[in-house]
Structures are given as structure tokens and as C-alpha cells.
Amino acid sequence: MKVSFLYGGGQIEVELPDKNLIDVLKTSRPPTSIDEGYEVRRSLENPVTPFIKKGSKALLIVTDYTRATPLSKLLPPVIQKLREKGFKEFTVLIANGLHESASQKQLEELLGGKVFEEAEIVNHDVSKTDELTYLGETSLGTPLWVNSRLFEVDLRIGCGTVEPHFFAGYSGGGKIILPGVSGVETTYRNHSYAMINHPGSRLGVLDGNIIYKDICEASSMSGLDAVVNVVLSSEGGISKCFSGEPIKTHRSAVEFIERFIKVKARRRADIVVVSGGGYPADRNLYQAVKGMAVGELLVKTNGVIVLLAECRDGVAHKHFYQLVSKFKNPADLLEHIKEHEPIRDQWEAQIMARILTKTRIIVYAKGVTAQELENMMLIPASSPEEALEIAFSLTRRDAELIAIPEGTHVIPEVPRSSNT
């Protein structure tokens, strides 16, 4: 059976043997709105909770270039609505988290030209500690440092996309604050070994997820007034928009998207072939770990995950590469993180190492060399066909196989009785 997997900016077709294939897990994601601008305006006119108050200065905190939020379509109607309500000054703050600040070219690609005419554009830069304000600790002991621009305006709105997230449950909502515009110490604590290791810190889980709880507290303490969150279609367009108070609005968006992206699998498999989610989700190997985490939910112990991720920017995060490549055994890497944290990018390394303690991972990535993959305890493949051949050689010829063509856009559900 030929199956098309999201890969980079397009798709890659892979022939999977019918006799081995037991499931192809696809979503029924909602269609793109006929008028995306109208959908945003509809949301602003009919918010989950009212949020626009009197003032003249507004801060729009937006996701960075590693996220698929269609900001060029989202921001103009938001700014227009606020102008109608009397706001005159606008700042767009790019929530880079610990990522590198966006270049001018990346900003133009991310925001579109019109926004530059309407607002001041600023990168959140964690290295500029003099631009951070300390707000105390969350109930989980996270010291909260956030960008000081939040306290120079009358209205603070987070703009992002709601989609599955491999340890915060879902993106969107308060993640625009933590880690979006938080300090290094804050993110390290929220992404610590213990927090990532908690059983509730998983894909698609909010209730009982301590990382999500910490994020919600941080957004409240920061005075985030509202979020404008979108759910995307399979084409990457705006399907539905939700506006209002951060927690209630985010939950409403999650409730909507879960109707489309939760997919039941019959059982786990020996081999799971999973997409990295396509661009920008698979723009580098660091981000592509999220695809591995989807495969983790479906692969049997001692099975194999085959990850198809373009990684046009390579590994991209040098600290991630340097940390992982020091080790030949994932258990040793986990122990090192636990003993020596905080370490830059340890959370991505921890999740990949956790998966590697239970299964092997084969990667087909045009943008990463075979040597780099081998140095990171991953098995390189020069094509999807070679990846499959290696996978069967590591398991058996009659190994059962599951395909997840959309990768990070899917939340697989497996029966509890399924073989692990």
C-alpha cells in the first residue's frame, strides 16, 4: 500500500507491505474556513469570554518561526478590532523562548508585510536579562521571570496555534508566556528532569499535567489578559478561532480539536513509521523529536520507530547535539541530565533518551548527515525504503507495522490491554 507522509513542505510517498500493515492512523482535521479573516473577526466579536478593556497600548505576543501560526492572516483583524476600541499603539513581541531570535527575513516570512506598518516588532531575547521582571514563584517552585514589556501596556494578548504538544499536552494558551517570553531560569525549572519525567507530562494530556499547571499559573501571574488561538486545517489554514480569557479559551480550542485528531489504534506494533509533521514542525532534528514521541505511544518495547523528517535546518540546536553525542547509551544520558541539570536543551535530549531506552529509532532526514545521526544514537537511512529494510532486519520479516502519515498532528489512543 502506498502511503503519503508529510515531509518538509510537501509529501513523500512510501510503499508499505500490505501483509505487515495493521493501521494507517489519519485525522479528520477540519477544513480551512472559507474566509479566514472573517473567522478571526467572528471570534473577536463573539469571544469565549469578553477581554477587551479601555486603553491605548496593546502588546501582541506571538509564536516564533518554528510554529505554523498563520500570523499574517491572524494579526491584521486583531489590530483592526483593537483600533476600533480605541487602541493606538501596538507592539508585536516574538515569543522565541530559548530559541534564537528571528532574523529580519524570518520575521517578514512569519508576519507578512502589513504588520510592520501597524506595529513595533520586537524579539524576546533571553540573553537580555535587564529586560526581564521577576514575579515570584509558582506553586511548583518555578521562579517566574518574564519580559518586562508585559508591564508597559494596557492589554496583553497571546496569539498562537493549538495543536498536540509532547510534554505540555497542547500548544497555545499560556505557553505564549512560559516558555515563550520567560527567562532562562524559569524555562529550566518548568522543563526540568522531574517535570518532564512526571507521568502526566505527555502528549494530549492536560488534567494531571504538572507542566501545564505551571504554565497556567505563569500566565495568570504575568497578567496575560487574553489569547487569540487558532486551530489549523490539514492545509495549514485557519479552521476555527477562539478568543478570550487564556485558560477557558485554550480549553475550548482543545475540546474542539480533540474531536478531529484523536485516533484509535487497534494495538501497538513492532514498527511505527511516523512523519515529523512536515514544515515547520520538521525543520530541524530538535523539533523532530516530537514525531518520535508520537511513535513512542504505539511502538512495542524493543520495537522500531522510523522517523521521516526533512530537517532542512539540520540538527539546528548545537547544545542538544553536543549533549546527546557525548553518550553511547541512553540510560547514561538520562542519569547525566538528572545529576547535572540544568543543561541547555536537556528536555529534548531527555525525551529522546527515554524513547531510546525502549526502542530503536531510524531516521530519514535529508538535512542531517549519517554521522550526526549515529553520534546521537540514531540509525541513519538514505531513503524510506532503506529505513524499512533496516527496521525489518532489526525485528522480523512478519513484524506488524503502523503508519502515522501526519505525525505530530495526531494523538493515537491505544487499548490498555495492548501488548507493550
Told to judge if 340 belongs to the known catalytic residues of this protein, a careful annotator would answer no
Which one of the listed residues 99, 124, 250, 409 is annotated catalytic? 99
Contact in structure between 241 and 393 (CB atoms under 8 Å): no
Told to judge if 99 belongs to the known catalytic residues of this protein, a careful annotator would answer yes
Which one of the listed residues 124, 165, 250, 317 is annotated catalytic? 165
> Could you give the residue numbers annotated as active site?
99, 165
